[in-house]
Amino acid sequence: MTEHDGLNIVPTGRPPSIPATLVRDFTPDLIDVGTHHLCPGCGEPVAMRAALEVIAELGVVQRTVGVFGIGCYTAFSNNLDVEVLQALHGRAPSLATGVKRAKPGTFVFTVQGDGDMVNEGLQEVIHTAARGENVTCIMLNNGVFGETGGHMTATTVIGQRTKNTLEGRNAEDHGNPILLANMIAGLDGSAYVARGAVNNAHNVALTKQMITAAFESQIARRGFSFVEILTMCPTGWFVETTEAPAYLGDNLAAVHQIGVLKELARA
């Protein structure tokens, strides 16, 4: 018996009784391809995976329609095994509203970034929440317009370096960040609101619980549900890939705090 990273390993000449598992075998059933072109260390694939796993676990695949905004995450819209609609920038909540109203039995979720949702289409999600539309919106918040080069968005935190705030965002010149989940939690019509993150295993598990609660809220027809997920963007943040999870925890999550902000009592 040998010690290796704290594990007891028993040497054996026999082949393993269970075949070795390749990384690609962990690809969720609802993602058709095992590879993507997003940057190494990007948090968005982790968040997408969590959402897709929950859809499969809840058994709603056949009646699901995903509505995608425009950002790096849109890469996934072409290779999912659920129905997908592509919205114009920021308009996914309105498109989701239309789908749900036309076909109330449909399970509807959106995937948008902070640039798409908070900059380019803020009114869409606010009105959708206030109307209490029975859809779930997911916002992947990395504090930058990732796909177009890493510029400041409305959620960028004070001090954060972006392509157009090279010395860090400052309130005097660039204004203050909008904490969207907190705003939505304050609206009548929102039934479930939470903010998670994918910068470590604990937070990924927590975020998956939040997505599950939000989706169950929609299935129970409680009204609008919202999950904001803080995701790493090492490319846009000017930080090393390996440092991005800690950067997220120390900077983004210090302002956009992780937790369940609102949960209507279950009937």
Residues forming the site for Mg ion (CB under 5 A):
113-115, 142, 146
Under the binding rule (CB under 6 A), the answer on residue 190 touching ligand SF4 is no
Under the binding rule (CB under 6 A), the answer on residue 233 touching ligand SF4 is yes
Closer to Mg ion by Cβ: residue 154 or 191: 154
Q: How far is the CB of 232 from ligand SF4 (least distance, A)?
A: 7
Taking CB under 6 A as the criterion, the residue among 48, 54, 67, 72 binding ligand SF4 is 72
Applying the rule CB under 6 A, the residues between 98 and 157 that interact with ligand SF4 are: 142, 146-147
From ligand SF4, ligand TPP, Mg ion, none, which one binds at residue 70 (CB under 5 to 8 Å depending on kind)? ligand TPP
Kindly write down the DSSP assignment for every residue of the chain, as one continuous string: -EEETTEEE---SSPPSS----GGGGS-TTBS-S---SPTT-SHHHHHHHHHHHHHHTT-GGGEEEEE-SSGGGGGGGSBSSEEEEPPTT-HHHHHHHHHHH-TTSEEEEEEEHIIIIIISHHHHHHHHHTT-S-EEEEEE-SEETTTT-EE-TTPPTT--BTTBTT---HHHH-PPP-HHHHHHTSTTEEEEEEEE-SSHHHHHHHHHHHHHHHHHHHTT-SEEEEEEE---HHHHT--GGGHHHHIIIIIHHHS--EEEEEPPP-
Under the binding rule (CB under 6 A), the answer on residue 228 touching ligand TPP is no
Applying the rule CB under 6 A, the residues between 87 and 126 that interact with ligand TPP are: 89, 113-116
Q: Give the interface with ligand SF4 as residue ranges (CB under 6 A).
A: 38-39, 42, 44, 72, 142, 146-147, 233-236
